[in-house]
Amino acid sequence: MKKPPVFIDLFSGCGGLSLGLLSAGWKGIFAVERTADAFKTYSHNLIDSGRFEYDWPSWLPQSEHDVELLLQNHRENLASLEGTIDLIAGGPPCQGFSPAGKRNPKDPRNRMAERYIEVVRLVKPKFLLLENVRGFNAPFKKSGAGKKPVPYSQVVKRRLEKEGYKVEFRVIVSAEWGVPQLRPRFILIATRKDLGFKWAPFTKLSESREFFHTSRGLDPNKQQITRDAIDDLKVQDKELVDSTDGTVKGFKQILYKEQTPSSSFIKLMRAGVPHEYVPNSLRLPRHRSDVAQRFALILDECARGRNLTSEQRERYGIKKHSLTPLCPDRPSATMTTLPDDFLHYSEPRILTVREMARIQSFPDWFELLGQYTTGGPQRKTSCPRYTQVGNAVPPLLGEALAELLMNAYKELRWLEASFEIGKGTPFSRNAHQGHYRESFQPHQ
């Protein structure tokens, strides 16, 4: 290929999915993220760092944007991109679909999937990639009078098919793709029908799994576990120093000194940074003594890897709906946006932002920016570091999907070139595609 394929990321958050795409060789055009904090992190790591290539259009300011305002103010500009964009990716807000929430079919954030489709209608990319919580593929219990509940995934599928796309989707467990976290995600992949390109994306994805792991130094027969992701970030045996990362003073963090990585996953997360490099977002929580004592009791008395029962929460005086002591020997439960949903597996504290980022598979060079947490009225408008990480697509899962789509793009280009060469001969594009499928080797 003379030029890399290009993508737009809608609802990009801090950049987990974009990072996967860029790492697999895709080129960014622009990203749409409505919160200033998350976009600041995205821009700092993916655009301004010089690590990756972007071709940001002059008509769109390089700042946070709302998709609805993008459509309102730049509809003609979006339409002018028709035929030039290879992929639209994105994860529309999922709170209305999430099993961890109230699963409200009337949640206004649900309509963001409609905005995704509206951009698709204007731009008409070759491929689509949509990520969401697994609840996206589950029907709401209550529907209209006399109506059979239908998963929203089916609604989106039908609408995309009307726009001329072949649509397939699955729920994929992130832990199957090198992520030390279960995190099942709804993944939709669509291909424009008029391209005449027939493929089975999720079959190809399964076939690539072993190579994906071994090429990153990971064992395809072993899921990554929590201890192997964050054990080097423990407080135990570490010197504590004042944290200067953030605007609030009085916090401590470990004095990080890299040693020989204790796991292949930590080695992967440290790849590409100097030996002396210290990752950011190491600030430790500042618990009251009675809270730390309560956490110590929980670690001593409760099973790892399981959410505390209502009886246990009552016994410990915990009013939260969810609190899970992590299990060191299994993949973590799904990270959320609330830092106090989880306890460290061996220390009476919640996780640091960096520990959450590791469990999400963000590399150590990726720096989270903005406040650590927010409260009160700010919660509606801000996106602090913990929230940025909890909302993100795990970059390793994003990279697996990105490589799958890159290989499909290469195969499509090869077929198009062969079709041009074969004009005027008894050449059959469909027959040639079948022949090429037999010889095509993933990721090579």
- Which secondary structure element, helix H or strand E, spans residue 343, and what is its range? strand 342-343
For 139-182, what is each residue's pLDDT tens digit?
766 655 566 778 889 999 999 999 999 999 999 999 999 999 99
Segments in 233-335 forming alpha helices (H):
264-269, 289-301, 310-315
Q: Please identify which residue in the block is written with the tokens 């060469």.
A: 421
Same domain, yes or no, for 177 and 317? no
Q: Which domain holds residue 117?
A: 6-219+395-439
pLDDT at position 151, please? 86
Domain membership flag for residue 136: yes
For 53-88, what is each residue's pLDDT tens digit?
999 999 999 999 999 999 999 999 999 999 999 999
Same domain, yes or no, for 63 and 11? yes
pLDDT exceeds cutoff 60 at 98: no
Distant-in-sequence, close-in-space partners of 53: CB < 8 Å, separation ≥ 6: 4, 27, 28
Same domain, yes or no, for 340 and 193? no
For 266-287, what is each residue's pLDDT tens digit?
999 999 999 999 999 999 999 9
Q: By CB neighbour count within 10 A (0-12 exposed, 13-18 middle, 19+ buried), where does 337 fall?
A: middle
Alpha-carbon 190 to chain mean position: 18
- Which secondary structure element, helix H or strand E, spans residue 188, and what is its range? strand 184-192
Q: Compute CA distances 37 → 32, 93, 369, 372, whole Å.
A: 13, 16, 7, 10
DSSP-derived 3-state class of residue 340: helix
Same domain, yes or no, for 202 and 101? yes
Buried b (16+ CB within 10 A) or exposed e, 241-266: eebebbeeeebebbebebeebebbbb
441, 242 Cβ separation under 8 angstroms? no
User: pTM (2 decimals)?
Assistant: 0.90
Domain membership flag for residue 182: yes
Same domain, yes or no, for 92 and 165? yes
Q: Which of 318, 336, 351 is the last residue of a domain?
A: 351
DSSP for 162-181, written as a single string: HTTEEEEEEEEEGGGGT-SB
Same domain, yes or no, for 318 and 187? no
pLDDT at position 105, please? 56
Q: Please identify which residue in the block is written with the tokens 């860029």.
A: 22
Give the single-character DSSP code of 336.
-
Domain membership flag for residue 24: yes
Same domain, yes or no, for 34 and 109? yes
Cα-based angle 28, 30, 33 (whole degrees, multiple of 5): 125
pLDDT exceeds cutoff 70 at 444: no
pLDDT at position 328, please? 98
Domain membership flag for residue 181: yes
213, 220 Cβ separation under 8 angstroms? yes
Same domain, yes or no, for 48 and 195? yes
Same domain, yes or no, for 108 and 10? yes
For 220-276, what is each residue's pLDDT tens digit?
999 999 999 999 999 999 999 999 897 788 999 999 998 888 999 999 999 999 999
Domain membership flag for residue 328: yes
Q: Which of 321, 351, 381 is the last residue of a domain?
A: 351
Angle between helices 429-439 and 395-421 (to 10 degrees): 130
Q: Please identify which residue in the block is written with the tokens 């020989």.
A: 260
Say how far apart CA 373 and CA 385 lie, in whole Å.
7
329, 227 Cβ separation under 8 angstroms? yes
Buried b (16+ CB within 10 A) or exposed e, 139-162: bbeeeeeeeeeebbbeebbebbee
- Which secondary structure element, helix H or strand E, spans residue 404, and what is its range? helix 395-421
For 104-133, what is each residue's pLDDT tens digit?
555 555 678 899 999 999 999 999 999 999
Same domain, yes or no, for 196 and 292? no
Say how far apart CA 393 and CA 180 lie, in whole Å.
13
- Which secondary structure element, helix H or strand E, spans residue 416, and what is its range? helix 395-421
Domain membership flag for residue 231: no
Same domain, yes or no, for 55 and 151? yes
Bridge partner residues of 181 (DSSP)? 332
Say how far apart CA 271 and CA 254 lie, in whole Å.
21
Domain membership flag for residue 173: yes
For 292-336, what is each residue's pLDDT tens digit?
999 999 999 999 999 999 999 999 999 988 999 999 999 999 999
Q: Is the dihedral of CA 111, 117, 121, 123 positive or negative?
A: positive
Q: Which of 330, 351, 372 is the last residue of a domain?
A: 351
Domain membership flag for residue 420: yes
Write the single-letter amino acid at 282: L
Hey, how many other C-beta atoms are within 10 angstroms of the C-beta on 48? 12
CATH number, domain containing residue 431: 3.40.50.150
Write the single-letter amino acid at 49: S
Q: Compute CA distances 277 → 202, 236, 366, whole Å.
A: 38, 20, 12
Same domain, yes or no, for 12 and 68? yes
Domain count, the chain: 2
DSSP-derived 3-state class of residue 242: strand
For 392-435, what is each residue's pLDDT tens digit?
999 999 999 999 999 999 999 999 888 766 564 444 444 444 43
